[in-house]
Chain A
């Protein structure tokens, strides 16, 4: 499984990569929304799922999701939002922007992997 993970915190990127690597998943990393779009563009074929933080410089998570949802090439791609914020408001915004699901940081590795398997249907 190939996943694109976007977070401005190096620590979180490392943790996600470690978690995914243990499952044999491939992780591509980016550190903000703009970078995420670049990396996404380079991924061929497209990733099976995208994991993104919300609070990031340059282009934040919501902005990133909106852009991706506008791109027919990535139609239907599952996007999970990963963030510490538990505010309901923000979850609604994320959903409106087009997110598929929501995972709260700090994440339980098993849950993250489970969620990815669920939304992609892959093992």
Chain B
């Protein structure tokens, strides 16, 4: 990827970076060199040490003695980093949760990063603030005005705004290093593409970018170089052009993940368990489909197409204004999630922190949260049985933890996802509704989760999966429905599920809108 390499001295050079926590070694002798104006990707499984690496760069954690961090000509011991020093060196961070304030305007958000300029008596210089914001918006080509509230922006623009705020007005991009922690994790695919294009343009202007991501395809398209961490060590450090997706996966996992696409199965194999007819709810405007026993049905569509609304309505969390739902032959209105659960339906929200996790509670309490009755022995809760069951789930999903009593929020995001997923899978529901089940999860764990879904389906569960990752849908599902304009706009059967056609169907413009 040809860039104007003004200067071939590395912009960022990290050497022999180690970090131990007691007996465990989070990072060991990690080195990383990034050339000026290049895009460097840092990848690795959950718990491979990526976050620790970034935290040390940011000065939030101290590296062990011996490691060094060099930014341009300035060399700093890793044990001596601090947030102020990182800032001084020109390291600029944008974290996954971009840290914007939805209720405030674009210019206020920028000012919160840079400081409000004030008149002598302390009154804010609003006009200057807005003209500065306008300049930044222009420079970074964000689709917004200084007075738009941040909540009204789309996700890509928000991420861009966070980047603009981090980099600011400095004329020479070459002096700053932009470090992005999973910038596209929560972006729908098209917006992720937009962001990727913008990042490429930055790099072409001489901006050095280090980014962390789980999206392998994106990494291969965007990055010049890739450093793979595994167990706290550098497992590979190669130009992206020399890598294939499979090679990257085996570097990350240390094993080759064989992800077999679903073999075509007879669509009329099982009895019909779910029949939805003319469902109207939120953005849904007459959705009809049915699903069979042991079938995995994917739901594709854009963010806002009603994918999540559909699952929530089936779970009784939202109520439908029209239409009928037949669950195993019965037409019954579900008033509350509790009714759905009693009938053997399970639902996992896409918002793990907000709607699935009990952060302060233990893993055990999280795993059995939906099955309290099961562990009620008439006189008391069977804590022993709960612990054994939790141990079983920990082992089954390979959750990295010190034990069932560890608090959920002490785990990494991917491991938390495994815990909340095991909460539902262990109940062996006949209808499983999953919204973005593999978000934030590394490739290895992702394959494990896919295998678990397949197994559930083989045991007769009907699975509905919503995912923004259309490739995931094409790998796992027997059938994929595309939601567009409030209805099922297209339907694909395995093995003819092609991610590109799913994208195409999702984005098709409504036909009558031309006038």
**B and A form one assembly:** no
